[in-house]
Chain A
Amino acid sequence: NAGVTQTPKFQVLKTGQSMTLQCAQDMNHNSMYWYRQDPGMGLRLIYYSASEGTTDKGEVPNGYNVSRLNKREFSLRLESAAPSQTSVYFCASSDLYGYTFGSGTRLTVV
């Protein structure tokens, strides 16, 4: 089925560890996004990529880096994880008709 695939679905990290969240879409969308979702705070945009080769900061970029590897793939990296980064992370892609979201990555930093 066409859509957005995120890996991993669950991850536990120790403070200071690094990891990369992977995202791939087969919708042929130009725009891709990374959001985090925390209780009572809705979705907050971390980074987005309007097209292959471009990335821009969103509302809460600190502590994260991204790579738009090609049109399909948009990865999110945590260089040195902190407990404040415990959250559910969603990748999404979009066109004129709206967003398509991945199923999320539940990250816990201890």
Chain B
Amino acid sequence: AQSVTQLDSHVSVSEGTPVLLRCNYSSSYSPSLFWYVQHPNKGLQLLLKYTSAATLVKGINGFEAEFKKSETSFHLTKPSAHMSDAAEYFCVVSYTNAGKSTFGDGTTLTVKP
């Protein structure tokens, strides 16, 4: 069985400060892990993915995530938040490529001016 927990339902940061969105996973096999972003009234867009290559994964818009097997974590970071980063973020785990994945409940990121 696989599961994913996003540890914060809401995160608020000031523009220009670092962003940390936390995700822990549980998987019986070597997982594939993804982060998606959803802006208001839009569909979900892939930010980045991990599939057992480099543990530090770089995505779009300056986001990164580090796969830590010992901590079963895949936290999403960005050095400097921008107003346009305000959105909902979903962590996703899958062990069958991208088929029938498990989505976290989402973290809403607010960016204050």
Contacts and interface: CB of A to CB of B under 8 A. Distances in A.
B44 A99 contact: yes
Given A98-B34, A99-B36, A45 B46 contact: no
B55 to A, nearest CB: 18
Question: For the complex, would chain B's binding face be called helix, strand, loop or mixed by DSSP majority?
Answer: loop
Interface string A62-94: 000000000000000000000000000010101
Interface string A88-109: 0010101111111111100000
B96 to A, nearest CB: 9
Contact of B98 (A45, A96, A103): A96
A13 interface: no
Given A98-B34, A103-B43, A42 B104 contact: yes
Interface of B: 34, 36, 41-46, 49, 51, 90, 92, 97-101, 103-106
Contacts, number: 57
B99 A50 contact: yes
Interface of A: 4, 31, 40-43, 45, 48, 50, 58, 90, 92, 94-104
Contact of B46 (A43, A58, A98): A98
A42 B103 contact: yes
Nearest to B105: A42
B90 A95 contact: no
Contacts of A41: 105
A97 B44 contact: no
